[in-house]
Structure 1
Amino acid sequence: MGNSLLKFLCAKLSYLAAAAAAAGHTHHSAAPQAATDAVSVLSHDLSQFGVTGQVPDRLSQYVVSSKKAQANWYRKLLDAWNEAKPPPNTPEAASRLVIQSLKRHRKADVEGILVCYGLPLPHTDAPVGPSSGPEGVVKYELQTLPVDAKAVADGDTITVYVDAAADPRESANVPRGVHEAALERAQARVAKDSDKEGALHKIITDAGYRVIAGSDNEQILARKYRIRLRGIDAPESSMPFGKEAKEELAKLVQGKRLKVYVYGDDRYGRCVGDVYFNSVYIQEQMLKKGLAWHYVAYDQRPELEKWEKEARARRVGLWASSHPEKPWEWRKERRNGT
């Protein structure tokens, strides 16, 4: 517990300093660029593997193969890194080394490693994501912590959390009162003062944050976001296939670190965004499985229409019914009391 608390306090002090620097427009102490961090973090992890033979625990959240396979990858990467003259010093060079060294391995695993470190995916200068166009402009990205299945409200809405210390955008915007409450809560937790811990927990959650236990029980201050999947509308829970849609979305996102491209907010205060796990586009999967409609009133992207038509043609999911009810019409009828 003491070691976890020390990590927690160090992390909080780090992003508190980053927030103060941002507020004072002090550029000398600003957080380093994520691209530079990606190379240094990979280099550090490979060095640690050379000493301990252990791969980072977080990698399992991005890849599909076993720990034994992961150790095999890191041996290859460590050898390639040591043989490179000079070693990679840019994200593009590091990405090329990973792809070349693991070219005979599963594509999903190689892409998972790249996403884990924030390195460019093959044949692109940035991780997979939608391009801005006539259907909207991406306002910002979210890199989430692993998603809990209970965070799936229905087939088109999920709640996610973002590490407020690790994300530069978040760390500069955490309210000072939340920082202080998180630090005091950690101290109350050690002192086993449950009343004080509960009061501080309420301050944190009321502000839209939460303290989450990480993989090695360290305490992570995280920002809460409710996400409405852009461009689709799934059956409501009490509609036919509503339960199946919720279960499928939970299966797609449970335990995974997601990338969310946010385009704006809806009238309920949810972020409207495209959701990805590595190169898997979650909305595409929901449409192809016949567990969501293309929400054409708000999104006219032709690929969404195409995926819905494919599911209709195969009569999968809700399309097994000859006349499935549209969820927006179902909601309208209930608002009107009919």
Structure 2
Amino acid sequence: MLSNDIYHHWDFNGASTALANNEVFARELQRSSNHACVESSLSGLVLSMSSYVFLSFIDESIWLASKQALCMANAVLPSHQLPPQLAALLHPSNLPHPHSLVKITALGEAPPLADGLKFELHTLPVDAKAIVDGDTVIVYVSTTDARESSRVPQEVQMAVVERNGALYEGNYTKADALHKRITNAGYRVLRINNEDILARKYRIRLRGIDAPETSMPYGKEAKEELAKILDGKCLKILIFGEDRYKRFVGDIYCNGIFVQELMLKKGLAWHYTTYDKRLELDKWEKVARAKRIGLWASSNPEMPWAWRKNRREHR
């Protein structure tokens, strides 16, 4: 069967195997086309080509191998013998273009960056439902990103390929189970502009501010304001570390605007001086205090770190 011959030849660790196996791929396609019933091999073909198309987003050399394989498939299997979904999948024009691809970078320690900056994230559009509260948000970064491309676990890659095959076959129960495996590993397949994108999940704590907890006065307003700022936007996030709750601590920029500055000036957060000594944040908080904006309309608003401490002590 085509499924076994092709699927077991695939090597997720490098594009050279994909290039070398195009000859094998062509031979097996030819053998498949000689069968009285081509449909008997279609499921394996879909699974194989799904792996080519998916991994094309990760490395340009795999894109070249994929292009060759797709051309072979079109030459050997007449389009009139194929279901419309498979004919579309096998058409070379549907392969992602190289301009959207990135080269895989070697794993290893990044060079030291100034001021404690660890790395930078560029996110996919944020969903308002991903706003946890006024200082925490869940974001997703595409695995085509230069930093992410070399870090996708092999088991996640395999699950994505198997899920594509299950969706083609209409086995949605299996597809859902495979997507759960993907999400449990910290990834998700997002549908954006009619395109499936594999993305890594990050839980971000806004650096240097502390917003009221959701059940505190102005907690709901802080969450709603952050959602209003971030909803549907792609963000640049500078990551400086990780807190004890495994959240990445970072500065968030939305369309060039520093989000922490907005939250402080709107009176919906404190400058968290225990962990941050930046004078600008202190100045922005004082501006809101002077104008009695947001939570500063109250004469003595309770500080969220004191509120959390009281909650812990009275459990």
| TM-score relative to the length of structure 1 | 0.62
> Residue 253 in 1 paired to residue 230 in 2?
yes
CA contact (8 A) 1:19 1:171 kept: no
> Residue 304 in 1 paired to residue 291 in 2?
no
Cα shift readout 1:137-191 (whole Å, capped 9, x = no counterpart): 1100100000000000000000000001x20110101001101101111121121
Change (3 A) 1:248 1:219: same
Q: Looking at CA atoms only, which structure, 1 or 2, has the larger radius of gyration?
A: 2
User: Residues of 1 paired with 2:58 and 2:152: CA distance?
Assistant: 8
> Residue 159 in 1 paired to residue 138 in 2?
yes
Where 1:196 maps in the other structure, the secondary structure is helix
CA contact (8 A) 1:19 1:172 kept: no
The Cα RMSD (Å) is: 2.3
Runs of 4+ in 1 over 3 A off after TM superposition: 5-11, 15-20
> Residue 189 in 1 paired to residue 189 in 2?
no
User: Residues of 1 paired with 2:157 and 2:175: CA distance?
Assistant: 14
> Residue 206 in 1 paired to residue 184 in 2?
yes
> Residue 264 in 1 paired to residue 241 in 2?
yes
Change (3 A) 1:252 1:9: farther
Instruction: Give the aligned residue type for 1:276.
Output: Y
Total equivalences in the alignment: 220
> Residue 314 in 1 paired to residue 291 in 2?
yes
User: Residues of 2 paired with 1:311 and 1:317: CA distance?
Assistant: 8
Change (3 A) 1:209 1:18: farther
CA contact (8 A) 2:50 2:165 kept: no
The CA deviation at 1:334 is: 0.3
User: Residues of 1 paired with 2:48 and 2:243: CA distance?
Assistant: 39
User: Residues of 1 paired with 2:191 and 2:57: CA distance?
Assistant: 18
Change (3 A) 1:6 1:252: farther
Change (3 A) 1:141 1:289: same
Instruction: Give the aligned residue type for 1:186.
Output: N
- Unmatched tracts of structure 2, length 5 or more: 1-46, 66-112
Where 2:201 maps in the other structure, the secondary structure is strand
The CA deviation at 1:132 is: 3.5
The CA deviation at 1:278 is: 2.4
Which residue of structure 1 lines up, in the alignment, with residue 119 of structure 2? 140
Cα shift readout 1:100-126 (whole Å, capped 9, x = no counterpart): xxxxxxxxxxxxxxxxxxxxxxxxxxx
User: Residues of 2 paired with 1:223 and 1:14: CA distance?
Assistant: 17
Higher RCO by CA contacts (8 Å cutoff, separation 6 or greater): 1
Which residue of structure 2 lines up, in the alignment, with residue 37 of structure 1? none
Change (3 A) 1:200 1:316: same
User: Residues of 1 paired with 2:136 and 2:280: CA distance?
Assistant: 21
Where 1:268 maps in the other structure, the secondary structure is coil
Change (3 A) 1:139 1:19: farther
- Unmatched tracts of structure 1, length 5 or more: 21-28, 30-130
Which residue of structure 2 lines up, in the alignment, with residue 334 of structure 1? 311
Instruction: Give the aligned residue type for 2:279.
Output: P
| TM-score relative to the length of structure 2 | 0.66
Change (3 A) 1:336 1:7: farther
